Amino acid sequence: MTDDILIVGSGGHARSVSDIILQEKLFAIAGCIDNLYEKCTNIKFMEDISIIGNDGMLSGFYKRGLKNVFIAIGENKLRTKLYNIVSEIGFTIVNIISNTSSVSQRAHIGNGVCIMRGAVVNINTVIGNNCIINTNCSLDHDCYVGNNCHIAPGVTMSGGVHIGDGVQLGTGTSVIDGVKIGENSFIGAGSVIINDIPSGVMAYGVPARIIRTI
């Protein structure tokens, strides 16, 4: 076990990340940061992990010597906001990569990335900063995932897929090879993407169709 770490967030994704950290002895968890501070004392179902402060207290924890942090929040916009805050403070934003995942040595991973249990990241795939590659995802060769994305459980991406910044791919989505999805788009669960999707839209279905702008 290495240095202490702060976990930002205390919801379901924070529980999943914390479980990997503890089971695989990646860090010692100093506690969680959440605006529920003073209303809740612990992460739900994990009474051994305390909520020790709120977002406004991050700078104070850094000054007291806690340098490592992970943003464990599923929602892209809030996760991005908090990532920027801790970056400006000076925290080291670590990666949490489960030892049950399979990540090519020739993949390129940014920082603040979580690669959950059972995920596969193949050769020459690029993952930007502050991304979630969730449980049992499969990212094949030569894919690109921009910053601040959430690739939900069970997503399958064939080779050469390009995902812009801030995209969320819903659970069980399949994306055929070479498809491009524009930044800040949201793809509903179970969709099949066979054509490019522009930026800033919601799409879902088999095959996926654009429903509205967001």
Q: What residues have CB less than 8 Å from 81, skipping those under 6 apart?
A: none
Amino acid at site 159: G
* Contact (Cβ atoms closer than 8 angstroms) between residue 183 and residue 200: yes
DSSP state at residue 79? H
> H-helix or E-strand containing 42?
strand 42-43
- Catalytic residue list: 162
- Compute CA distances 123 → 33, 129, 141, 177, whole Å: 35, 18, 5, 15
Q: What angle do CA 84, 87, 89 make, to 5 degrees?
A: 110
Cis-peptide into 198, omega within 30 deg: no
Q: How many other CB atoms are found less than 10 A from the CB of residue 95?
A: 17
Beta strands 126-127 and 108-109 are parallel
Nearest to 197 by CA among 206, 208, 131, 188: 208
- The candidate with the shortest Cα–Cα distance to 107, out of 129, 128, 119, 122, is 122
